[in-house]
Amino acid sequence: MSTTQRPPLEGLRVIDLTTFLSGPSATQLLGDLGADIVKVEALGGDSSRAIVGPTVGGDSAYYLANNRNKRSIAIDLKSPRGLELLKRLVAGADVVIENFRPGVITRLGIDPEEAVARQPALVWASISGFGQEGPLRDRPAYDMVVQALSGVMSLTGHPGAPAARLGIPAGDVVAGLYSVIGILAALQARQETGRGRIVDVSMLRGQLAMLSYQALYTSLNGTPPEPQGAGHDSIATYRSFTGGDGRELVVTANTPRMWEGLCRILGVPELVDDARFRDAAGRLRNKEELWAVLEARFAERPAAEWVDLLAEASVPVAPVKNVLEALDDARAADDGSLVMVSGDEAAFENVATPIRFVHTAEVAPGYPPVLGGNTVDILVDELGLSVAEADALIADGVVLANRVQEPVR
């Protein structure tokens, strides 16, 4: 079968009122799946544009990483004329997504309940730190704040060491993923009822959901778990070890067959029948003794040799790689995990959306928009203003326009 099916969200119009990371990661995913994303920014732009760090073509890499496949219109939303423009954009949208603190969008002049009442088919998604209701609703929240409050930080790091933030922005990205799930569920329901929904996603709730079995373990035990380090609360042979060359590897020998294979490859087959380690419960109960034996054996060869031997024996194993090594591997695999994003004057390589659809056209990665790069196109071609009216809005400071960049699509 040829690639004839269109991207699954093609034709969907999304108004993106988000900044920083949780919302932009969500709308980037929707854009990668074919939706038309209109990024509405304040005249000063998304705050992530100014994050200190690497840059490409003068733009923050932090911003570039989360804003491909979008168009940008910059509006002064505190002005009556700017607010009216936003209302007109919303009137033509299928989805609105915002990550203001609860109540802020209403104070600006658009109430989500009223918007959905006027447009029954509209899906409105709100991402916030703590949800639209509750005692913490008005507090500002960032990724590390919800990692701390959820217990995630308490699980990260090694026993006896201070709590550690996850090295990835899980609080933001997980909230973005849950918002996309909520939006898609609301769109599916709309297919049957003709009516949209208001979707309320909390970063904190997202992190609590990510606790998974650790939440139930804690509820049942009545005591909080220790930092996990490089091990597992339930499986003694789910752990990292260090090879003789100082490189780390991880082994996840979860089943009896894997345990036996691990012992055979390490040259300690007698452990299989050792009363202390005969079953998973015994191995966990006597884990310190077991780890001492395994660590001594792993120290006898370089990590890469152990990885090859264990993999050949179908024991799940992997070297611990740094990010540069992981990206090099993905590039060498050439399996679509990385994508080159090219603009008029710059290009960069970024991680691609991992979702694949068979026999479906892929969305070409559009370079993240410059601030106001599509303002005039949107005002004239989509809202029906004349060029003179658009110029007047620019002159009066109601909108900001940068005519350098062409539309993404």
pLDDT grade, residue 1 (50/70/90)? low
pLDDT beyond 90 at 408: no
pLDDT of residue 403: 66
Question: What's the rounded mean pLDDT across residues 162-166?
Answer: 96
Distance CA 132, CA 112 (A): 12
- Per residue in 308-348, pLDDT (tens digit) is 999 999 999 999 999 999 999 999 999 999 999 999 889 99
Return the residue matching tokens 């054996």: 297
Task: Answer yes or no: are the C-beta atoms of 379 and 75 closer than 8 Å.
Answer: no
> Which residues face 36 on adjacent strands?
13
Question: Percent of the chain beyond pLDDT 90?
Answer: 96
pLDDT of residue 289: 98
Give the CATH architecture of domain 13-211+333-400: 3-Layer(aba) Sandwich (3.40)
Distance CA 138, CA 141 (A): 9
Q: Enumerate the active-site residues.
A: 172
DSSP 3-state assignment of 39?
Answer: strand
Give phi and psi for 342, each to the nearest 5: -120, 135
pLDDT grade, residue 4 (50/70/90)? confident
- Per residue in 119-128, pLDDT (tens digit) is 999 999 999 9
- Per residue in 13-66, pLDDT (tens digit) is 999 999 999 999 999 999 999 999 999 999 999 999 999 999 999 899 999 999
Cα-Cα end-to-end distance for the chain: 26
DSSP 3-state assignment of 242?
Answer: strand
Task: Answer yes or no: are the C-beta atoms of 165 and 79 closer than 8 Å.
Answer: no
- Per residue in 231-279, pLDDT (tens digit) is 999 999 999 999 999 999 999 999 999 999 999 999 999 999 999 999 9
Pairing of strands 36-41, 71-75: parallel
List Cα–Cα distances, 85 to 117, 122, 124, in angstroms: 19, 17, 18
CATH topology of domain 238-320: formyl-coa transferase, domain 3 (3.30.1540)
pLDDT beyond 50 at 182: yes
pLDDT of residue 405: 43
pLDDT beyond 90 at 406: no
pTM score: 0.95
pLDDT grade, residue 2 (50/70/90)? low
pLDDT beyond 80 at 299: yes
DSSP 3-state assignment of 202?
Answer: strand
Domain ranges, ordered by start, for the chain: 13-211+333-400, 238-320
